[in-house]
Amino acid sequence: MRLLSRTTLKQARAAAGRVTDPELPMLTLADLGVLRDVDVVGDSHVVVDITPTYSGCPAMAAMRDDLVRELSGAGFDRVEVRVSLDPPWTTDWITAEGRAALAEAGISPPGPAPSSDGPIPLTLQPMARQVRCPQCDSPATELVSEFGSTACKAQYRCTSCLEPFDHVKEI
Amino acid sequence: MTDHIQTPAEDEHDSAYAGLLVNDAHWAFGTDFEDPLAGVDTTIPEGVDGPTLAVYALMLGDDALVMSHRVSEWTSRAPDLEDDIALSNISLDLLGQARLLLARAAKADGSVVPVLPEGSPAPPEDALAYFRESHAFRNVRLAELDNGDFAEATVRVLLFSVWRLAIWERLRESRDHVLAAVATKGVKELAYHRDYAARWFVTLARGTDESRARLVAALDLLWPLWPELFDTHPVEAAAAASGVGVDPAGVREAAEAVLDQVLAAADVPRSEAPRRAGVLGRTGRDGTHGEPLGRMLAEMQSVARAHPRGQW
């Protein structure tokens, strides 16, 4: 029985691990750090914990539906998707594979997230980041806007090859 | 001509419409259709009064909902595409915070949720958003004013987020797991909103005579509602006393220190416009609002109210 449940858990994790992010389809939810836990709690009953990137992330329902579809397809009769708010998502949870996939897709991966303990100091200058162009690898880039095509990205432009690109904001 | 009529594919895998025929009907007017707190520990901490926690969560949630709606009215109307996207993102963050907080209020005390016609699929947070009258809203009046020009949006987002961030930095220590988690997540978002507005504040102040004049006029317009943000309502006092909430009066110094940094960088003095009085001493937290909120709710709520059982 023990061996069986371990195999089942492995299957559940593999199935959940295949689900990709609806807005960053080059990344799995696991690579994005949004998939927090997968557990088989009973006969054919799997519980998945996901966490939102931002409070208003509109993709949560699509993620849930995709997880239910994938796990049902893998033979699980009951799939429960729970929201985990604490600890809050941080870009530090994006895996090395995830960062490579982002860069490959022309999206600049985030640097280390700043500490968000204590009072958060006011920043009147544009965020100082070392961002390299994902197209030509030039370090000569400039911030266009802190708010990009989705809540989790900022807009940059490369002053060498002149291509605009998205950068995943550190939070 | 009959040669050109397409017959539906026999095999559903070949039909582009197959996926649309699944019966996944859900509530038509909400941001989502599942409990946003599913799996979150919503136990009320020991010694905390459920109704107090619920009304306190409504206050924080209504601030976010009403402010989100006003900021969302900028979508497609901002001065340029980047700012259109920025304001839309700010609005979305606040809507997410509102949803979690209204859901928290409903879980803490179900009696705050309006009773809907039988068969309505609206979840509790949407019942709160769409089916309450303006006097049941507990938001501060700063959030509800009609929109003005871009300088007005800049000043409003700045004042609102400086104040809200100061409260939420402390709310991270709330004894209520949900409020603590929502705040821990929200401070990161609010810091972006504040810094965005602060940079535009400095840019407009140091721009042309026209941009500076408009900015100063916006500050004079909104300044009368700044003191209200730091009034302590009895519900806030009770929530703070039981360790789940934050007394706004206690963050005034910290918030004004941040605001003064922005004013100094912009070389703009604090406004001298006097505080706007309440109505018989009652303000937004008491459910006393100006006409703009009524008009805003009429627009926001009318379709959901006309079709309380609406599904699509």
How do the domains of chain B map onto residue ranges?
A: 48-305
Q: Of B26, B165, B192, which to mutate for an interface test with A (greatest number of A Cβ within 10 Å)?
A: B192
**CA atoms of B144 and B66, how far apart (whole Å):** 6
CB pair distance less than 8 Å for B182 and A55: yes
CB pair distance less than 8 Å for B185 and A89: yes
pLDDT score recorded for residue B21: 55
Note whether B159 and B222 are within 8 A (CB). yes
CATH 2.40.110.20 fits B48-305, yes or no: no
Sign of CA dihedral B134, B140, B141, B143: negative
Give residues 111 to 140 of B whose Cβ lies within 8 Å of A.
none
Give the contacts of B60 (CB within 8 A, at least 6 positions apart): B97, B101, B179
- Closest Cα partner for B156 from B69, B253, B98? B69
Burial state string for B8-46 with b = 16 or more CB within 10 A and e = fewer than 16: eeeeeeeeeeeeeeeeeeebbbbbbbebbbebbebebee
| Angle, alpha carbons B198-B57-B128 (nearest 5°) | 105
Residue B265 in contact with partner chain A when CB distance is under 8 A: yes
CB pair distance less than 8 Å for A83 and B39: yes
Nearest chain A residue (CA) to B162:
A122
pLDDT score recorded for residue B8: 45
pLDDT score recorded for residue B13: 52
**How many helices (H) and strands (E) are present in chain B, helices listed first?**
9, 0
Burial state string for B230-269 with b = 16 or more CB within 10 A and e = fewer than 16: bbebebbebbbebebbbbbeebbebbbebbeebbebbebe
Q: Could you say which residues of chain B have pLDDT below 70?
A: 1-25, 30-34
Q: Is the peptide bond before A87 cis (omega within 30 degrees of 0)?
A: yes
Note whether B186 and B172 are within 8 A (CB). no
Burial state string for A130-150 with b = 16 or more CB within 10 A and e = fewer than 16: ebbbbeeeeeebeebbbbbeb
Q: What are phi and psi of A67, to 5 degrees?
A: -65, -45
pLDDT score recorded for residue B5: 47
Closest partner residue to A144 (CB to CB) among B82, B198, B202 is B82
- Closest Cα partner for B140 from B123, B125, B160, B113? B160
What's the Cα-to-Cα distance from B209 to each of B78, B151, B155, B271, rounded to whole Å? 21, 13, 17, 18
CB pair distance less than 8 Å for B196 and A146: yes
> Which residues of chain A make contact with B39, given a CB cutoff of 8 A?
49, 82-84
Q: Of A23, A47, A55, A171, which to mutate for an interface test with B (greatest number of B Cβ within 10 Å)?
A: A55
**CA atoms of B120 and B38, how far apart (whole Å):** 20
Q: What domains sit in chain A, N to C, each tagged with a CATH number?
A: 2-83 (3.30.300.130), 105-168 (no CATH)
> Which residues of chain A make contact with B97, given a CB cutoff of 8 A?
55-56
As given in the structure block, the two tokens for residue B72 are 């969302």
Q: How many residues does chain B have?
A: 312
Which strands make up the sheet holding A141-145, listed edge to edge?
A: A107-108, A164-168, A153-158, A141-145
Q: Could you say which residues of chain A have pLDDT below 50?
A: 1-3
What's the Cα-to-Cα distance from A46 to each of A4, A62, A85, rounded to whole Å? 15, 18, 19
Calculate how close chain B gets to A157, using CA atoms only, in Å.
13
**CA atoms of A34 and A94, how far apart (whole Å):** 9
pLDDT score recorded for residue B40: 82
pLDDT score recorded for residue B24: 64
As given in the structure block, the two tokens for residue A47 are 């519980």
Give the contacts of B16 (CB within 8 A, at least 6 positions apart): none
Note whether B272 and B79 are within 8 A (CB). no
Instruction: Supply the pTM of this predicted model.
Output: 0.91
As given in the structure block, the two tokens for residue B144 are 């509800």
Q: What are phi and psi of A33, to 5 degrees?
A: 85, 10
CB pair distance less than 8 Å for B182 and A85: yes
> Which residues of chain A make contact with B195, given a CB cutoff of 8 A?
122-124, 146
Calculate how close chain B gets to A171, using CA atoms only, in Å.
7
Say which amino acid occupies A80: E
pLDDT score recorded for residue B2: 43
Residue B33 in contact with partner chain A when CB distance is under 8 A: yes
**CA atoms of B308 and B225, how far apart (whole Å):** 35
Give residues 202 to 221 of B whose Cβ lies within 8 Å of A.
202
**CA atoms of B39 and B181, how far apart (whole Å):** 13
Note whether B75 and B84 are within 8 A (CB). yes
pLDDT score recorded for residue B87: 96
pLDDT score recorded for residue A61: 84
Say which amino acid occupies B66: V
